Amino acid sequence: MSDDGLIRELPRIRKFAETNTAEDESFRQYLKTRLPLSNNELDGVVQGITDAVWEKLDCTTCGNCCRTLQIVVDQKDAARLARRFGITTQAFIERYLAVDQDGLGYFRTSPPCPFLGDDNHCAVYEDRPRACRDFPYLHERNVRSRSYTMVENCATCPIVFNVWERLKERFRPPARSSGKKHR
Ligand code: SF4
Ligand code: SF4
């Protein structure tokens, strides 16, 4: 762990995420059903922690989402990217996209994303798909209803992992009473 308390190394993060499964699920249930904060209050806390963590984590030293996830590309994304390349939307779709069984477009050759450079920089950053802008979704509302996705993304994204760990530290539920009286 570094001086700022964050864990950045992906192999360590994956290992923690794998071994923490029971603890994570138990905390997720606590957060969903018993944590005494409103949805707005919880969203505010998560956004505050996210900003603090994100400030210290440089995505260009990671690039793991671009390397391992399949990115949804909708019609607007395709049109924007097509304009960038000076081709028609149809030509862009034919060159880069495939459509899955739910009708969603994605980069045909991904993962990794065809626009990810060796230096982890995105070659189409200003025009990247909305899914890339929104990932890892920690600034979206109602984190309580998205806690499952959050836990799932812990193994992929160091930002999500460290935010989740800080949330656990901050709101660790009180230990359950054994029911026995102490003399
Ligand atoms: S478009 Fe850019 S941000 Fe999105 S996955 Fe590809 S490299 Fe990453
Ligand atoms: S969003 Fe997460 S997974 Fe993607 S590059 Fe940044 S730290 Fe890595």
From 65, 109, 132, 159, mutation site for ligand 1 pocket: most ligand atoms within 8 A of C-beta? 132
Mutate to test the pocket of ligand 1, among 76, 81, 115 (most ligand atoms within 8 A of CB): 115
What's the CA gap between 13 and 99, in Å, rounded? Answer: 32
Q: CA-to-CA distance for 84 and 81, rounded, in angstroms?
A: 5
Compute the mean pLDDT over every residue in the chain, rounded to the nearest whole number: 91
pLDDT in the model for residue 102: 79
Measured from the alpha carbon of residue 156, the closest ligand is 2
Higher pLDDT, 181 or 21: 21
Distance separating alpha carbons of residues 150 and 148, to the nearest angstrom: 5
DSSP secondary structure, 43-70, as one string:
HHHHHHHHHHHHHH--GGGT-HHHHHSP
pLDDT digits (tens, 9 = 90+) for 88-143: 999 999 999 998 887 789 999 889 999 999 999 999 999 999 999 999 999 999 99
Domain extent listing, the chain: 10-62+136-171, 70-134
- Give residue 177's pLDDT: 52
